[in-house]
Amino acid sequence: MKIFKGILASPGIAIGNAYVLNRFRLSVVERVIDRAEVKGETMRFMAAVESARGKMIQSIGAGVKNLTENLRDILHPHLQLLNDPTLIDQSVFTIERELKNAEWALKTTYDNLAQRFERIRDPYFKERVHDIEAVVDKVMHELMGRKEEGLESLTEPVVVFAHDLTPFDTAQMSSKHVLGFVTETGGKTSHTGIIASSLRIPAVIGIPKITKGVQTGDPVIIDALTGVVLVNPTDHQFQIYNRKRQQFFYHDRELEKESKLPAATLDGKTVTIMMNIESSHDIHTGSKHGAEGIGLYRTEFLFVRDNRLPDEEEQYEDYRKVAESIAPHAAIIRTLDLGGDKVSGDFVEEPEDNPALGLRAIRYCLRNPAVFRAQLRAILRASVHGNLKVMFPMVSSIEEIRRAQNLMASSMRELKKEKVPFNRDIEVGMMIETPSAALMAEQFAQYVDFFSIGTNDLIQYLLAIDRGNQKVAHLYQPLNPAVIRLLHMVIKAANQNNVAVSVCGKMSADPLYAYLLLGMGDVEALSMEPHSIPKVKKFIRGISLYDARKHVQKILQLQHVRDIKKYLIANISPLLTEGMFSELTVED
Ligand code: PEP
Ligand code: MG
């Protein structure tokens, strides 16, 4: 029996036999061609591209029943990659000018692109190289007349183990045949992770060399509630996990049934529970899970999806759809949080040594006022179609918020002159996700209508721990006393200065962290990824705010993460009912 530990990508428990997807790399031979061969070689290359395109369209079609909007958004850019001048023209160029065979030309183009991606630090964009790899692989198989091993031929339910899964593999997954999956690569922001959770297939990712530790046919268990994978488990473990799986299904269904009930505490305070979205397509799922508005719309995904700047009109249409679909609830549109090395194409800036500390978010927008203005105008125009609010990310000084507001005011003046309707009283807020913004919360309160605390970045910047770096992941501690003190300070400052405060970082989605946050003061809303909503709502219905405040006062006296964790596990985790899991109660 072997046990592996990975990253949770999509919750659930899967029990079954392993199917190891072995994708061997095709070895490519370099061959110099004759001038007379150039035309034929180019045609062979283009025919392979066309054939790959045909198969990709077919596989999107085959997976059509499963295709969530999210997945569609991911697959279509894949098809577009086959029109990408860098990929296609560069390969043709190598055939024509360097007189190389088509396979070698394609490999050289890919190697060059991959080198460029190597320099990208942002994990989300870095991982996009796998999308290009998947497409190149398809064309290469066509060129060499080889068949790619895929999931389309699965006839029995299995647990898939793979180095990585392309979005095409996942498009072919139906929950009937794929009970769950485990991959070697992938971080929390990888497409594999995003897709797994939208298909609701249990998945654990990021276990290096797992495909060497398991063979097709081995009995396996994936516990995607704690991130554990068991290969060849004992009978006793089978029994335990079978029970755990039944409980999970049962509790998930039960939680779902109550997800429309408000999150009102035992002592009568109602907390608004909202959803974080990356695309307007996520709204439907979030609403089904009981979301009462959108607490964070990460609009950068709208910008990076097609790797170009959407114009004001396109953005207006999107924000209008968001406003209308969520009305009468509110939607907080966060202005662009990208910059530095995050994207190529229209956005290109010089690569930065420290992109997390570089020209990103509000800094990027203030440096590119035309981009910023188009987004502000689009939000303002859409604001008459529902209850839209606007929020600025990564603010670290009063000057920034003033400059952003000046641009907002001038966009309003323009629209007024153009006689275009907009909501003059639109609420304007900021994220508190830099230590400087947190320390100056009292002063910032004079300038904005609301704060939304971004704990993901606030923890990263406060503790100086890169949130995407596996090597220091154990030091990324929401329970570090410095984090707790700073959060407490911000919530108090907001309350004392009558500015609404919410939390939209990942801490909101964990019941025990949510308990701490609510005990720190008057927190109006918690915003989280949709599938955590039913759990957090139910948890809040079982707690008293009065007690939470008393516990927070005691926790504020503690100096060690370990003591705070122990305190929460001893005193608060008994409030978790079955099916509600917290990362604090997971054994390491
Ligand atoms: C955060 O930093 O907590 C946050 C919600 O923003 P993002 O995760 O998009 O950086
Ligand atoms: Mg952030």
Beta strands in 118-200 (DSSP E): 158-162, 178-183
Q: Indicate which atom in ligand 1 lies nearest the CA of residue 504.
A: 5
Confidence class of residue 404 from pLDDT cuts 50, 70 and 90?
very high
Distance separating alpha carbons of residues 477 and 559, to the nearest angstrom: 13
Whether 383 has a pLDDT exceeding 90, the answer reads yes
Which residues are bridge partners to 159 per DSSP? 18, 180
Would you give the end-to-end CA distance of the chain in angstroms? 18
What are the tens digits of pLDDT across the range 474-514? 888 999 999 999 999 999 999 999 999 999 998 999 999 99
Among 124, 430, 457, residue to substitute to test ligand 1 (most atoms within 8 Å of Cβ):
457
pLDDT at 345: 41
Position in ligand 1 atom list of the atom nearest CA 300:
9
Q: Judge if the beta carbon of residue 265 lies within 6 A of ligand 1.
A: no
pLDDT of residue 189: 47
More confidently predicted of 556 and 472: 556
Per-residue pLDDT reduced to its tens digit, 203-262: 998 888 899 899 999 999 999 888 899 999 999 999 999 998 998 888 888 888 899 999
H or E stretch covering 526:
strand 525-528
User: Residue 340's pLDDT band (boundaries 50, 70, 90)?
Assistant: very low
Q: Which residues have CB less than 5 Å away from ligand 2 (the ion)?
A: 433, 454, 457
Q: Is 340 in the pocket of ligand 1 (CB under 6 A)?
A: no
Nearest CA to ligand 1 atom 6: 454
User: Is 385 a residue of the active site?
Assistant: no
Q: How far apart are CA 479 and CA 185, in angstroms?
A: 28
pLDDT at 376: 98
| Residue 189 Cβ contacting ligand 1 at under 6 Å | no
CB atoms within 10 A of CB 249: 12
Size of the chain, expressed as the number of residues it contains = 588
Query: Which of 130, 329, 365, 504 is labelled catalytic?
Result: 504
Greater model confidence, 564 or 529 = 564
What CATH homologous superfamily does 35-144 map to? PtsI, HPr-binding domain (1.10.274.10)
Catalytic annotation present for 504: yes
| Contact partners, residue 250, CB within 8 Å, separation at least 6 | 579
Q: Which of 193, 391, 197 is nearest to 294 (CA)?
A: 391
- Residue intervals in the chain for CATH 3.50.30.10: 2-20+157-234
**CA atoms of 437 and 444, how far apart (whole Å):** 7
What is the Cα–Cα distance from 184 to 95, expressed in whole angstroms? 35
What is the CATH code of the structural domain delimited by 2-20+157-234?
A: 3.50.30.10
**Closest residue (by CA) to atom 4 of ligand 1?**
454
Residue 504 CB less than 6 A away from ligand 1? yes
299-426 falls under which CATH superfamily?
Phosphoenolpyruvate-binding domains (3.20.20.60)
Which of 191, 289, 329, 488 is an active site residue?
191
Cβ atoms within 10 A of the Cβ of 475, count? Answer: 14
Pinpoint the residues of the chain covered by CATH 1.10.274.10.
35-144
Give the integer Cα–Cα distance in Å for 125 and 228: 27
**Is 92:45 a contact under the CB 8 Å cutoff?**
yes
How far is Cα 305 from Cα 76, in angstroms, rounded to an integer?
9
Task: Give residues with Cβ within 8 angstroms of 486, minimum separation 6.
Answer: 435, 438, 439, 458, 462
Contacts of 156 (CB under 8 A, 6+ apart): 17, 177
Token pair belonging to 520? 């720190």
Alpha helices in 342-501 (DSSP H): 361-367, 369-382, 398-417, 435-439, 441-444, 455-463, 481-496
Nearest-ligand number for the alpha carbon of 459 = 1
Q: Average the pLDDT over each of 163-167, 229-233, 374-378, 408-412 and give the range with the smallest value.
A: 163-167
Residue with tokens 């692989």: 137
SS3 at position 523: coil
Residue 433 CA, ligand 1 centroid: distance in Å = 8
433 pLDDT more than 60: yes
Range 280-302 average pLDDT: 89
Provide the CA 420 distance to its chain's centre, in angstroms. 35
**473/467 Cα distance (integer angstroms):** 7
**Does ligand 1 have an atom closer than 6 angstroms to the CB of 457?**
yes
* Ligand 1 atom with minimal separation from the 452 CA: 5
Q: Flag whether pLDDT at 539 surpasses 80.
A: yes
Nearest to residue 531, comparing CAs of 252, 222, 124, 192?
252
Of all atoms in ligand 1, which is nearest to the CA of residue 460? 2
What φ, ψ does residue 41 adopt, rounded to 5°?
A: -70, -40
Average pLDDT, the chain: 87
Token duo for residue 39 = 């035309």
Give the mean pLDDT of 558-565. Answer: 96
Query: Any idea which residue has 């939680």 for tokens?
Result: 255
Q: Tokens 């948890």 correspond to what residue? A: 539
Secondary structure (DSSP) of 78-132:
HHHHTT-HHHHHHHHHHHHHH-B-HHHHHHHHHHHHHHHHHT---HHHHTTHHHH
- Other beta carbons within 10 angstroms of residue 264's beta carbon come to 13
Which of 35-39, 183-187, 365-369, 429-433 shows the lowest per-residue confidence on average (mean pLDDT)?
183-187
User: H-helix or E-strand containing 276?
Assistant: strand 270-277
How far is it, in rounded angstroms, from Cα 552 to Cα 253? 32
Residue 159 identity: V
Residues of the chain with CATH 3.20.20.60: 299-426
Q: Which atom of ligand 1 lies nearest, measured to the CA of 433?
A: 2
Rounded Cα distance, 429 and 449, in Å = 5
